[in-house]
Structure 1
């Protein structure tokens, strides 16, 4: 064996994990991502439509902030998305990938609607709302419990299980709405004449109660995950199930309990949608927000206060895209591209928050042969 000195050419770019980005760097990276997204969108807007991008962005801004009514509508949409994001936070922190929020929301909403129809004439409003609330969280909790039990005892794939249960819930809602509808062409508002089971007016709007409930829930969930014993158990199980078992934590119990909470809060979201926003139930009541909430929970790293900011950003983009489509007679696809590009850059910024690129040239290394 002889010793030789060889030139080893290292890669021009290496990707390494950051030890931890400061809050300032995280904000800077996300702001740069949004700026780049706006530049790319401006190029797309001008190339495809010939419109002035600045004018288009002004219309997008007006979609949320032009009037107080539009802003209140944005808050109405925000709280539904935020509520579902809060529901997903404990499950995701435990690394239980609950993709079934849509189904859990529909389960809670259907239970709420059935109580409204069956008990609307026989119960006073406070008792009716209480029964609707209990029915919604029980239905949502059961819809979350089923995949949790299978995961805890038979180690099934929770992603596929919860995803498939969305389709089951959608089919059940479709069947039940057809039964409740009878011969009518649409289900319409439930208890329209009596408004039994509708939230009362609160500061001029029914959905203001939704805002209050979700605001309280946001604070409660933050302290639950960060400071409670059960929140600590969720964190440990999420980091390592073996470590959790070694520490004496019952992983099965934590899994089932956490998914009960996650499903119940999704059911609560269904209750707020039916009683406080739509006063009806349909297969589109969740509106795809069960999937959008996954982005909210993930980007916020399960911090419920950050979830509120991210939820507002996503609602702003959605309403702004719809306003662009309406103002310039664009099809929904063009508006969705504008929204999607911004979302893509925001998601991509997470890579640069967690990793960094190191540029290096050639370097002399001694190796033995």
Structure 2
């Protein structure tokens, strides 16, 4: 019989064993530069504006004044804290898409305590109760899908996603009850400011920044150096290996999701007590989904998460400033933001994989 020859494919894609830090920086920098070039072509083609002027306006959106930079930091820590919450679950390969709902139930628990006990509990006790109820509520919202995943192997992506809608409906129902006949809920305890964070360096939300920075260090060392962090890593790489090593996979799954949900609940506490002093169905602001990008791009390193969160907030603020300065609709500004984000996400392919063309031993990096 004649031997059948298999034709070599035009392009072969193989996974990299490891990419150096310098290579990663170079690839991501190149992606951002290419994105800016594509954005410049889009800006000039659609609007006729000078792209450099538009980029200058984007910078002004975050850095023009100290108060704008402060607002960017306020929004950054909310996004970063949710990314920190998702890190242990994602590292365990538990796809927690329910951060939005976990933040909302934590914020609702905080708001209910503020309204119910704001006039009767001493301030330190009030803050302690608000904190505990928020992390318990968020932890419970993480515990439920974890139990179903651990014991019945349900799809955690769909389960946690659907729980977002349940949380949103509960918050909508309770805010309607709290506002009574008023046209809106408004700020809670406006006259007494009970349950509001005190001023810290001129702003209430500066306490949020301090708390999240501390949490960033704690989560980094927890995942990298603690026994529980090691168990999370092993379960994420292979559940069979984890069982062989004597790790209780079910308990690790439940414990990790309780931690993830509890930190999301803490975000709800920080939003209500330290930023908005109210609760609504939009309090999480979509950050529960944006934080997925943060956690994944950073490979669960909380310090990298801070940088990526800053980039995303900068793009968001810059896009809003472009829309305002040039009377563009929000969609055009979002396209500019989306192109940059698309190139950044696409650069991960070249960091994790390499291409080899037919008849050539050279690799395309």
Normalised-by-shorter TM-score class:
over 0.9
Give secondary structure in 1 for the equivalent of 2:14. strand
Q: Which 5+ residue runs of structure 1 have no aligned equivalent?
A: 364-369
Shift in Å at residue 12 of structure 1? 3.2
Distance of 1:307 and 1:173 partners within structure 2:
29
Residue in 1 aligned with 2:335? 337
- Equivalent residue runs for 1:110-121 within 5 Å: 110-121=108-119
Choose 201-210 or 351-360, whichever is displaced more: 351-360
Give secondary structure in 2 for the equivalent of 1:356. strand
* TM-score where L is the length of structure 1: 0.96
Residue in 2 aligned with 1:51? 49
Distance of 2:233 and 2:44 partners within structure 1:
47
What are the superposed Cα offsets for residues 14-56 of structure 1, whole Å, 9 maximum, x if unpaired? 2111111100000000001011111111111111111000000
Distance of 1:116 and 1:225 partners within structure 2:
33
Residue in 1 aligned with 2:287? 289
Q: Is the 8 A contact 1:9 1:362 kept in 2?
A: no
Distance of 1:331 and 1:119 partners within structure 2:
44
Distance of 2:13 and 2:262 partners within structure 1:
41
What are the superposed Cα offsets for residues 146-199 of structure 1, whole Å, 9 maximum, x if unpaired? 000010111100000000000000000000000001111111000001100000
Which of structures 1 and 2 has the bigger CA Rg? Answer: 1
2:29 corresponds to 1:31: yes
Residue in 2 aligned with 1:75? 73
Candidates 292, 296, 299, aligned match of 1:298: 296
Q: Is the 8 A contact 1:10 1:362 kept in 2?
A: no
2:209 corresponds to 1:195: no
Q: Is the 8 A contact 1:37 1:345 kept in 2?
A: yes
* TM-score where L is the length of structure 2: 0.97
- Equivalent residue runs for 1:138-217 within 5 Å: 138-217=136-215
Divergent runs of 4+, >6 A: none
Distance of 1:126 and 1:319 partners within structure 2:
35
Distance of 2:147 and 2:333 partners within structure 1:
42
Shift in Å at residue 359 of structure 1? 2.4
Shift in Å at residue 11 of structure 1? 2.9
Distance of 2:14 and 2:357 partners within structure 1:
11
Distance of 2:186 and 2:256 partners within structure 1:
35
What are the superposed Cα offsets for residues 95-138 of structure 1, whole Å, 9 maximum, x if unpaired? 00000000000000000000000000001111111110001000
Candidates 239, 242, 255, aligned match of 1:241: 239
Q: Which 5+ residue runs of structure 2 have no aligned equivalent?
A: none
2:307 corresponds to 1:309: yes
196 and 2 in structure 1: CA distance in 2 versus 1, 3 angstrom threshold: closer
Shift in Å at residue 298 of structure 1? 0.2
2:66 corresponds to 1:61: no
- RMSD, aligned α-carbons: 1.3
2:218 corresponds to 1:220: yes
Between Structure 1 and Structure 2, how many residues are aligned?
361
Candidates 82, 85, 110, aligned match of 1:84: 82
